[in-house]
Structure 1
Amino acid sequence: MRQIIALGGGGFSMEPETPLLDTYILKQANKTIPKICFIPTASGDSDHYIKRFYNFFKNQSCEPSHLSLYNPPTRDLETFILEKDIIYVGGGNTKNLLALWKEWKLDNMLRQAWEQGIVLAGISAGSICWFEQGITDSYGTGLEPITCLGLLKGSNCPHYDGEPERRTMYQKFIKEKKLYGGIAGDDGVALHYIDQELNKIVSSRKNAKAYRVNSDSEKVLPTHFLGSN
């Protein structure tokens, strides 16, 4: 079973007091003590970001680690990746993430991991990267379309309610055929794909939603709130 969990926003880096999305991700590995690896490439391997990852996951039933491309833990990155149960990709600059992954052939390793049943997850840049296309602020000021890995069909827009221009520009690019139609997620929403099909949408915030956006429509999708009502 091939799984990808794409977060529009939330998780340990945005909601450290609300663990609902991250504990949901851990459960999908179906392991008592899953091995979860954080890849913070998009943030330039920010030490602060890595520290926040460990601050949360060291208190969960899991075995956390991280992969820095600026200070690799081993020459054999393929073995390092393929022994994990979950890969969790952080946010930041999507363009730099894709360029570095390609140079290190990490894009191929992650595709192999996905094919082998390792759960792929991520937030923001770590959400966009799995789709054919996305909308990003990686180029400086403003938002632009970007071509991504293509494990999932269509386009993706995170932070749909969290950053004012996202919704407007995502719809504009789709109408102008600069982006394929796709799925947008509010902050606090996770899109759970199984074998390239959207299987479930979960949220850590009661009113957070996901949307299917095409050139002529925006449709609210059913979302399951993970907290108590």
Structure 2
Amino acid sequence: MVAPARRVALLGGGFSTDDDGLLDDWLLGHARSPHPKVCFLPTASGDASDYIDQFLSAFTARDCEPSVLSLFRRESSDADLRARLLGQDVVYVGGGNTANMLAVWRVHGVDRLLREAYDRGTLLSGISAGANCWMEGSHTDSFGPLTYLRDGLGLLPGSVCPHYDSEPGRRASYQDAVATGMLAAGWAVEDGVGALFCDGRLHEAVTRNPAARLYRVHAEADHGAGERALPCRLLDGAA
């Protein structure tokens, strides 16, 4: 039996930021089922009710079966939690505080379940903190000022920086963290970009914004950092 591809999608947008729905449609197009089960994990936002309502409004209108896993108001047993997560086709992790989210996941064993789901072919995805969590490290504002976080599930090697083009200080701060070795080389995701990784390698990069890019950021011999823009396919329907 051939093992399923292990896949992660890093999102620079989606239902919470964009009106056109192009990145969410692209994500669902990579699900293993034509009518996928999609579970939203809003842990990083503290299970914010408005965020949950946004997700349900956006995904109920699509050809999928959406659900929400709340850990701050958890009602399921360990066995039910495992069955729930492993039964999904897509897991969609929302934005918020990356460090807090990882801590809560570990208390409930969600980190181990997501690794198991990954190995079984569930498409793991997310925006902001929901992109950070899959890497070995990330650029974050979890502690207030922008800084590095040498923590994550480590399903993908290296580091990531979300909001690379839209938040003041992100670009320079992330490059400094990579240049000084505080973070390993990694991926910088501009808003509007989606990046799909299969078995740890970049498989596809897309964008809903013709000007947005995915960058590979690496340390250079002079103790600085370099960035290399990767080609992104413009999604059908993009302005």
TM norm structure 1: 0.96
Q: In structure 2, the residue corresponding to 1:187 is in which secondary structure?
A: coil
Distance in 2, Cα, partners of 1:5 & 1:202: 11
Distance in 2, Cα, partners of 1:145 & 1:44: 19
Q: For structure 1, which runs of at least 5 residues remain unmatched after alignment?
A: none
**What residue number does 1:13 align with?**
16
CA contact under 8 A between 1:128 and 1:134: conserved in structure 2? Answer: yes
Task: Find 2:93's aligned residue among 89, 93, 108.
Answer: 89
Q: For structure 2, which runs of at least 5 residues remain unmatched after alignment?
A: 221-225
Distance in 2, Cα, partners of 1:146 & 1:215: 16
**What residue number does 2:53 align with?**
51
CA contact under 8 A between 1:145 and 1:173: conserved in structure 2? Answer: no
Task: Find 1:32's aligned residue among 31, 34, 38.
Answer: 34
**What residue number does 1:68 align with?**
70
**What residue number does 1:4 align with?**
8
Structure 2 counterpart of 1:125, which letter? A
Percent sequence identity over matched residues?
Answer: 44
Distance in 2, Cα, partners of 1:57 & 1:151: 26
Asked if residue 172 in structure 1 is aligned to residue 176 in structure 2, the reply is yes
Asked if residue 80 in structure 1 is aligned to residue 84 in structure 2, the reply is yes
Asked if residue 221 in structure 1 is aligned to residue 221 in structure 2, the reply is no
CA contact under 8 A between 2:39 and 2:88: conserved in structure 1? Answer: yes
Task: Find 1:187's aligned residue among 171, 186, 191.
Answer: 191
Q: In structure 1, the residue corresponding to 2:63 is in which secondary structure?
A: coil
The Cα offsets for residues 101-142 of structure 1, whole Å up to 9 and x where unpaired, read as: 111110000000010001100000000100111010001233
The Cα offsets for residues 168-197 of structure 1, whole Å up to 9 and x where unpaired, read as: 000001111101011101001111001111
The Cα offsets for residues 142-183 of structure 1, whole Å up to 9 and x where unpaired, read as: 333331110000100010001021100000011111010111
Distance in 1, Cα, partners of 2:150 & 2:44: 14
Distance in 2, Cα, partners of 1:140 & 1:228: 37
CA contact under 8 A between 2:146 and 2:170: conserved in structure 1? Answer: no
Distance in 1, Cα, partners of 2:150 & 2:157: 14
Moved more, 139-148 or 162-171: 139-148
CA RMSD in angstroms comes to: 1.1
CA contact under 8 A between 1:90 and 1:124: conserved in structure 2? Answer: yes
Task: Give, in angstroms, the shift of residue 68 of structure 1.
Answer: 0.2
Distance in 2, Cα, partners of 1:188 & 1:33: 25
Task: Give, in angstroms, the shift of residue 70 of structure 1.
Answer: 1.2
Q: In structure 2, the residue corresponding to 1:126 is in which secondary structure?
A: helix
Structure 1 counterpart of 2:68, which letter? H
Task: Give, in angstroms, the shift of residue 73 of structure 1.
Answer: 4.5
CA contact under 8 A between 1:136 and 1:146: conserved in structure 2? Answer: no
Task: Find 2:24's aligned residue among 8, 13, 22.
Answer: 22
Task: Find 2:132's aligned residue among 108, 128, 133.
Answer: 128
Structure 2 counterpart of 1:29, which letter? A
